[in-house]
Structure 1
Amino acid sequence: MGLTSSKVLALAVVLAVLLFAGTVWLWPRLAGRTWGSVAGRVGVLLATQLAVFLSVGLAVNQAFGFYATWNDLLGREQAQGVVSDLGSVGTRGPLQVVGTRYVNVPGGSRPELGGQIQKVDIVGQHSHIATSAYVYLPPEYFKGGDKTRTFPASVVLTGYPGTAEALIKGLRYPTTAHEQARAGAMRPMILVMMRPTVAPPRDTECVDVPDGPQTETFFAQDLPQVISAHYRVAKKPGGWGVVGDSTGGYCALKLAIHHPRVYGAGAGLSAYYKAPIDPTTGDLFHGDAALERRADLMRTLAHGTPPATSLLVTTSKHGESNYGNTMSFIRKVKPPTEISSIVLDSGGHNFNTWRREIPATLAWLSARITG
């Protein structure tokens, strides 16, 4: 059973309850002052506390999507997700649908009413990166006989480490998009949901790492090309949007700033504005000062040519550490770049805060990308 399985969580909770009941039942028998009684009390207390911590940890991970598998948690996931020869995929092509699932809305079992979520495997022609994603197709994609209608599309990115599952279950992007479109707040939109960590376990910060994963190339060229070739996506310049939280928010803003001809709008929820260097990223720039400056979005806006794109940033006056930097970022934006913001009175760096921002963010994206 997987790390995010509900069965694993249920077993951990049952174990914690049984150990608690056993501790209450055994406590009178362990009340003596012998070494055996003392060791018994220590043992049952320790076992109960470990079971409670395990249950809480599993519940938090399931809600926030920090780790996808046991190997991911233990640091054993070492596959870099990079292929050396695109031709080796044979007849499968650069995109393969490997599964489908319902959207958690009324009538969700019928695609023409609830839309559909497809799990896909993607191989990038230019970056040679192989990874997976979830594609949300709105109900309108399946309605009627018009198979020529195209739809705007947006990439949705998690933070680091994050899991694409968290975008569906924790942040409820497909459900929210369905509700917003049904209420008339946004146009039906295709969502491509994935984590920015396309070369796990490394956090590449959407950088084209010298002699390493070409992550920015994957998101700027390969992903839009592959998705547009397989689905009915609008192919006009600026027809894509991108949104993400935390690390994904930094990536979203970077892609819109660096590639406005592809991404007509980028939204960073609780984003930061400069790629960090730490044990999870390794050496991203290999001494290339120009590449490092390019990854600093504040510097890019201050000294580069303003891109013709739309940006949205979110923060909170209380609870977010990026408030000051976000205000500085807003002040650096110059025409033709457009800037919008969501500033909450309070809200931490967490799913609850982002769920409050996502409905307005999707509506904002829908209004700014070409359909």
Structure 2
Amino acid sequence: MGLTSNKLLAFTILCAVLLFVGTVWLWPRLAGQSWRAVSGRVGLLLATQLALFACVGVAVNQAFGFYASWADLFGTETGQGVVVDHAAGPLQVMSTSEVHGMGGSLPRTAGQIQQVGIVGRTTHITTPAYVYLPPEYFQPQYRTRTFPVVVVLSGYPGTASALVDKLHYPRTAQHLVRDGKMRPVILVMLRPTVAPPRDTECVDVPHGPQTETFFAKDLPEAVRAHYRAAVRPGGWGIVGDSTGGYCALKLAVHHPGVYGAGAGLSPSYKAPLDATTGDLFQGDRNLKNRADLWWFLKHEPAPDTSLLVTSSKAGETNYKATLRFIASVEATRRTRISSIILDSGGHNFNTWRREIPATLQWMSGRLGVH
């Protein structure tokens, strides 16, 4: 059973329930003062606690995607990296797969997911990604058409594969297109952590990874060079959850000429400084200020872009901050703001799955083809 499989989660829950029932059943028989009785009670309690911790651990890992496999968890991953030939182009396709659950295997009817390697021409950042091409991309009547692009970012640490397998972005987009609720789009799905293990918060770190430039310049150039992707900013949007949500908002605000719309699911609104980020700004106060979206909206010209933010009244810690951010954007009278506010929902995959369909519909309504 895989570390992220539902079978493993069900198995750990079953073990915990059986151990709990067994403890209740056997407790009277272990009520004595002998060493065997005491050892039995300690053993049952310890086994039950371990089973409960296993349940919580597996559930949390499924929700946040910390580890993709057992080998990843125990640090024994032996799979070798794939060499990306920089001279061969900024984007190389490593493998292809179908969109599961769409009732077909042909790209022109079910679309296709491509695992790619992307090389930043200016930043020299190399990162893997998944690209979803809708069925229309392969159909003859669309062969001269370009398609809107939505860049999708995971949280930190996150995995790009979770955007496909857990948050179901390709499948959701395809269902929405079939229902006439959005237009076909290309999805480019990847982690904001393009210089692992460091959490760069999509900042151009002085003397370090130029992450913001990668997403604002290198990534769009690589995608346009390989796919029939929209050229102008009105055809590009960006969405992410958690850290990826902050990155999406910041990139849309800082680079409205690149991204015409940005959506943050449960985002923060400024870059933290902690053990995972290190010193992102190296004493550069202007860089630090620009990474604070409230400061930027107050002191810089309002960007001509559309933003969407999400939160929940119960379960999210960013609820009050989100209301404050909405007010800040409204005060600019130029930047457009929309929101999804749930009554309840935690900082997890289940909450984001509830928000993604409406987010993709919103994004589609703001993207054109040029």
TM-score per shorter chain, which class?
0.7 to 0.9
What is the rounded CA distance, in whole Å, between the counterparts of 2:213 and 2:222 in structure 1? Answer: 13
Contact kept, 8 Å, 1:65 with 1:165, in 2: the verdict is no
Runs of 5+ consecutive residues of structure 1 not aligned to the other structure = none
The one-letter code of the counterpart of 1:340 is S
User: Which residue matches 1:363?
Assistant: 361
Change in Cα spacing, 1:106 to 1:90, as seen in structure 2 (3 Å) is: closer
TM-score w.r.t. the length of structure 1 is 0.88
Q: How does 1:274-313 map to 2 (within 5 A)?
A: 274-313=270-309
Q: Quick one: which of 170, 179, 188 aligns to 2:184?
A: 188
2:153–2:240 CA contact under 8 A, matched in 1: yes
Contact residue 95 and residue 114 of structure 2 kept, 8 A: yes
| Pairs within 5 Å for 1:116-155 | 116-144=112-140, 146-155=142-151
- Alpha-carbon distance in structure 2 between the residues aligned to 1:211 and 1:318: 41
| Contact kept? 1:238, 1:260, Cα under 8 Å | no
TM superposition shift of 1:26: 7.5
CA contact (8 A) 1:205 1:275 kept: yes
Q: Is the 8 A contact 2:86 2:119 kept in 1?
A: no
| Identity across matched positions, percent | 68
Q: 1:72 to 1:279 in 2, by over 3 A?
A: farther
- In 1, Cα distance between the equivalents of 2:121 and 2:214? 8
Could you tell me how far apart the structure 2 residues matched to 1:367 and 1:326 are? 22
Q: Deviations 1:90-125 (Å, cap 9, x if unpaired)?
A: 554322222222223332422222211111111111
**8 Å contact from structure 1 (residues 63, 166) kept in 2:** no
**Is 1:258 aligned to 2:254, yes or no?**
yes
The 1-side partners of 2:109 and 2:68 are apart by: 30
What runs of 5+ residues in structure 2 fail to find an aligned partner? none
Give the counterpart letter for 2:108 in structure 1: E
Measured on the aligned residues, the alpha-carbon RMSD in Å equals 2.9
**CA shift for structure 1 position 318:** 3.0
Cα pair distance change 1:208/1:19, threshold 3 Å? same
SS at match of 1:267: strand
When structure 1 is superposed on structure 2, of 37-46 and 206-215 the one drifting more is: 37-46
Gap change, CA 1:110 and 1:20, over 3 Å in 2: farther
Question: In the alignment, residue 363 of structure 1 is paired with which amino acid?
Answer: Q
TM-score (norm. length: structure 2): 0.88
- Residues 53-102 of structure 1: per-residue CA shift (max 9 Å, x gap): 2244223312432333557656899xxx9xxxx9x825543222222222
Pairwise CA distance, 1:10: 6.8
* Partner residue, 1:270: 266
Quote how far apart the aligned CAs of 1:6 are.
5.9
2:37 matched residue in structure 1 = 37
Give aligned pairs, total. Answer: 364
CA distance in 2, matches of 1:200, 1:75: 15
